[in-house]
Each structure stands twice: as structure tokens, then as C-alpha cells.
Chain A
Amino acid sequence: MLIVDDSPVMRNMMAKFFSDNSFEVVGMAADGVEAIEMFEQHNPDIMTLDIIMPKMRGTEVLEKIMARYPDAAVVMASSVSDARTVMKCLKIGTKQYILKPYDENKVMAAIKKALDL
């Protein structure tokens, strides 16, 4: 799993949560450019992707990843909840969309669905 969020606290919190739930966190990225680099380096089974980030917005990262890897499992993880952004991400190909603040049950359900578990 690859975790992408510009907030160190959010990254660490998610890494701890997923590790505690038997996921292997292969990397954490703090901005959009790093996200793409790490995705290509690690080829993770799944990536959680924040939207409002420096260097490149998550929506743009999603576009680039889906264009190159159409089968990628990307789950948007953001507090951006406006319908337009959610729709845009769904159209581009996000598997799920989870909203901050995270509810652990919803997060796990979304991740499992995205991985077809």
C-alpha cells in the first residue's frame, strides 16, 4: 500500500492504522510528484490519495496514474466533499472515495472493496 498525504500527521496515522490491520505500507508520499514517482517505483496493490497537495493536485495524479495503469486501485482520501470533485474522481477511475475525518470501519470497507476482498 502507498499512502499519499501532504500532512505528516495524517500519513503517520494512516500508516499506523493500516499496519495494525495487516497491510504492508511500502511507502508514503507528501506531494503529487512524489506520489507518481513512488507509485512507479513500488507498483503498490493500492494507493490512498489526498487531493489538496503541493506540486500537483491529487486529481491530476489520479489522471496520470489511470492513464498509465488503467487497472490501478486508487482510493481518494480527502476532506474535499464537493460533488463536482467527487464526480470528477469517479469519472477518472478512483475505486472508492473516503472522507476525512476517517471512520475506521468505512476506511476498511472502502479499501477492501477497492481490492475486491
Chain B
Amino acid sequence: MDISDESLAELFEQYKEEVRETVELLDMKIVAVEQDSTNSEIIFSLFRHLHSLKGSTKMFNVENIGHIAHKLEDLMNLMDQDNSILGRFPKIVDLLFQGNDIFREVIIRLEEDITYVNLTPAHAQFIEQINHQLNLLDKKENIVVEQARVLLDELETVLPVLEDMETGG
């Protein structure tokens, strides 16, 4: 967005503070969900914090946090739709803790080196672990087909609105 350097620097400080606060919150929520794996409220709260973290991170191009938050958000999104997942795949908690450790590490490094925004090989390897978990869930939780059916039903009613938006109406 078109914002002056001075404002951007100020917003970046706010962003780092927001990440620090989110990391603390995530720590508490992960411990809570580990003890109460089907608690929908905690699961949604984890999803929401990761989603917000991804959103603000994208604005500052901090790719390492952005990619990892996005993947963990995908994981939490599936759990939000089916709160029995964590009971069957308890290792997801380890992924959440590892991801949060990476967010913490990046924020500390960013204080000294503002260019520490790209994925390191270790980060990429971690993302692969999440992808592996997502693939396992995708095979077991076949919710896609059901969603597609609903989408097809809805598409018909919405198409005129979409066309109207496209043509600037």
C-alpha cells in the first residue's frame, strides 16, 4: 500500500509487537488444546490467531512466518470442521509448538536483521512436515466432495451477481 517510509517503520514495529503477543497467546492455546483436544472454542481461537497472523504478515512480506502460519491455519481449519482430528492425530500439537517456536525465532532475528524474511531450509523442511500431515488428513477426511456439491448448488444463484461485479455494475 502507498504509505510513507516513516509510517511503514512504525507499522512494522506494531506488527512485530502483534506477532510477539500472538506467540504468547498461541503458546497458551496449544497447551489448552493439548489437554482438551475436542474443545471447538480453543480450536477456532487457534485458527483465528493463525489466520490474523498470516494476514498481517502478508502485508510486510515476512515470507517465513507467512508461509508457516498459512499451513498451520490450513491444519486448524480442518480441525475446526472436525474436532475429533486432534484425538486421532496427537502429533499435530508438536507441529503447532514447532511452528510457534519458529515465529518466536523469526521475530528475535528480525530485530537484528530486517532482511530475515525468507524461508530457510529448516523452515521449508518444517512446511513439508505440515504438508505431509495435511495429505494424511485429506485422504482420511474426504470433505472436499461434499463441499463441491454445495458449491455447485450455490453457484447458480450467485453467478448473476458475480457477472455484475465483473462488468463494474
Secondary structure class of chain B's binding surface, majority of residues:
helix
Contact with B along A20-58 (1 / 0, CB 8 A): 100000000000000000000000000000001110000
Q: Is the Cβ of A6 less than 8 Å from the Cβ of B48?
A: yes
Contact with A along B152-169 (1 / 0, CB 8 A): 001101100110010010
Contacts of A71 in B (CB 8 A): none
Known: A17-B1, A17-B2, A104-B1. A87 touches B155 (CB 8 A): yes
Question: What total count of A-B pairs have CB within 8 Å?
Answer: 77
Report A95 CB to chain B, min CB distance, Å: 9
Contacts of A101 in B (CB 8 A): 55, 58-59
Q: Is the Cβ of A13 less than 8 Å from the Cβ of B11?
A: yes
Chain A residues with a Cβ closer than 8 Å to the other chain, count? 29
Report B54 CB to chain A, min CB distance, Å: 6
Contact with A along B16-30 (1 / 0, CB 8 A): 001000000000000
Q: Is the Cβ of A8 less than 8 Å from the Cβ of B18?
A: yes
Give Cα A54–Cα B165 distance, bound, in whole angstroms.
29
Q: Which residue of A lies closest to B169 (CB)?
A: A113
Give the A-binding residues of B (Cβ under 8 A): 1-3, 7, 11, 14-15, 18, 45, 47-48, 51-52, 54-56, 58-59, 147, 150-151, 154-155, 157-158, 161-162, 165, 168
Give the B-binding residues of A (Cβ under 8 A): 6-10, 12-13, 16-17, 20, 52-54, 78-80, 83-84, 87-88, 90-91, 96, 100-102, 104, 107, 113
